[in-house]
């Protein structure tokens, strides 16, 4: 493999794959707790409480 022909993204992917290969996935085998699953499910069903950028700027931007 010739590294000088790889894009930055391809190099990042190769490095990430090698790190996972060497160190392993720290989350491998872990299970989510039921209360956490319920909280996530509830949050996903709830309508988003996002605020448009323009509103944030009106409220918090210094004049």
| pLDDT digit string, tens, across residues 49-60 | 788 899 989 989
**3-state SS assignment for residue 15:** helix
**In the prediction, which pLDDT does 32 show?**
92
Q: Identify the CA nearest to 10 among candidates 25, 18, 26.
A: 18
Mean pLDDT for the chain? 87
**In the prediction, which pLDDT does 12 show?**
93
**In the prediction, which pLDDT does 63 show?**
57
pLDDT at 1 over 90: no
């Amino acid at each position: 493999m010739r590294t000088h022909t790889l894009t930055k993204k391809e190099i990042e992917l190769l490095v990430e794959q090698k790190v996972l290969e060497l160190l392993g996935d720290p989350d491998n085998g872990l299970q989510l707790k039921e209360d956490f699953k319920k909280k996530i499910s509830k949050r996903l069903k709830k309508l988003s409480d996002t605020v448009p950028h323009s509103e944030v700027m009106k409220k918090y931007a210094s004049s």
